[in-house]
Amino acid sequence: MWVDHGDYYMVKRYFGRGKPIWKANPIALWTEADIWEYHRQYQIPHCALYDKGYGRNGCWTCAMAIRNGQLRRLRETHPDLYRRLVIDSDMGAVLLHAKCVVERLDHRELLQGREMSELLRERPDFFDTIKWAPEG
C-alpha cells in the first residue's frame, strides 16, 4: 500500500461504512533491524511469539503465511489452535484442495477414505509447506 499511496492517505470507503478514513504508514520503510533497534533503544517490550520463531504476529488463521512457515510454527507452539484451524474447521479441506491442485496430487489417494485428523497423525508436517506454483 505504501508504494501506491505513500505515508499518509485517505481511504474513500472503509468496509462499507460510507465515510472516508485516513491511513498512516509511519514505519513502512523500516527494516526488521530498524524495528529491533528501536525496541532496544526505547526498551519497548515485544510479543513472546517472536521468541518462538514467528517473524510476524498478524492473523494466525492466514493460510498465505504457510510459505513463511507460520503453519508449522502454529502446529509446534500452539497445537490446540492448529487443531481448531486445520482439523475442526474447513481450513484443512481448503488447504488439502490447494495442495493437491498446485502439487498435482490426488486427494482421494492421500486420504484413502481416512479423516483429515488421521492423515495429520501420520504426517503431522503435511501442511508445513505448499509449493504455490505448479511444477513443470
Judge whether 2 and 28 are in contact, CB under 8 Å. yes
Q: Model confidence over 96-132: pLDDT tens digits?
A: 888 888 888 888 888 888 888 888 888 888 888 766 5
Considering the domain architecture, whether residues 70 and 103 belong to the same structural domain is answered as yes
pLDDT at 19: 76
In this structure, the number of other CB atoms found within 10 A of the CB of residue 37 comes to 12
Q: Give the residue numbers spanning the domain of 97.
A: 52-136
Domain identity same for 41 and 56: no
Q: Which of 28, 46, 64 delimits the end of a domain?
A: 46
pTM: predicted TM-score of the whole model, two decimal places: 0.58
The helix (H) or strand (E) run that includes residue 118 is helix 116-122
